[in-house]
A and B are shown apart, each in its own frame.
Chain A
């Protein structure tokens, strides 16, 4: 069974801080994704990565960056946290056996920026 693990379930940070959200998957998946989930807006893609050191912007990349130094780990970075980045953040991964494969999600990190 695919396991996608996010390092924190809840996180509270202050405006202006640099924030790191970590995600690890154990299925050797090539593709990894970061979403934010807000009521009524569904899941919006921030960034994704299809290979080590490769990244592509999603639909709402502003204010975020990512890092993928190892295949199993994908980090989301809030360079200078702002209150409008308070949200639920979900990581997902997907294998490369064809593109028509489901994504597997982590449990999410609820981030509050004060």
Chain B
């Protein structure tokens, strides 16, 4: 089955700097890659997703890139703000109905 690895597990950045989280996946048939943000004590919420026919997608300060050949995708947050502090999860969907999630990255934005 699909295996998703996520790095780093923790990330501390200064407010205003950029943050990058990287994920690799194992199943070349995976075609959908969402990113979820989970604030402390709250539910995971989708922040951006990308499909395999697209190499990059951007939404304001967040962007996701996908390299199908290398089987990795990344989340980029620019101009980080304290409210970006959260746990971020990447996921990949191969054949079938289920998502496989990475282990999560705890991001701390220091004011």
CB of A61 within 8 A of chain B?
A: no
Docked-complex contact B6 and A58, CB < 8 angstroms: no
Docked-complex contact A31 and B97, CB < 8 angstroms: yes
Q: Contact mask B27-39 → A, CB, 8 Å, 1/0?
A: 0000110101000
B-chain residues with CB within 8 Å of residue A103 when the two chains form the complex: 34, 46, 99
Docked-complex contact B103 and A42, CB < 8 angstroms: yes
| Contact residue among B91, B98, B102, B104 (Cβ-Cβ distance under 8 Å from A48) | B98
Q: Contact mask A81-114 → B, CB, 8 Å, 1/0?
A: 0000000001000000001101111111000000
A-chain residues with CB within 8 Å of residue B32 when the two chains form the complex: 99-100
Docked-complex contact A44 and B101, CB < 8 angstroms: yes
A-chain residues with CB within 8 Å of residue B102 when the two chains form the complex: 42
For chain A, the bracket of interface size reads 20 to 34
Known A40-B104, A42-B104, A90-B43; contact A102-B97, beta-carbon cutoff 8 A: no
Docked-complex contact B49 and A102, CB < 8 angstroms: yes
Instruction: Give the top 8 A-B pairs by smallest Cβ distance, nearest first.
Output: A43-B101, A42-B101, A102-B46, A105-B43, A42-B103, A100-B32, A105-B44, A107-B43
Residues of A that sit less than 8 Å from B by CB: 4, 31, 33, 35, 40-45, 48, 50, 56, 58-59, 90, 99-100, 102-108
Q: A4-B43, A42-B89, A42-B102 are in contact. List 10 more A-B contacts (CB 8 A).
A: A35-B101, A40-B103, A42-B4, A42-B6, A50-B97, A58-B98, A59-B1, A99-B93, A103-B34, A105-B36
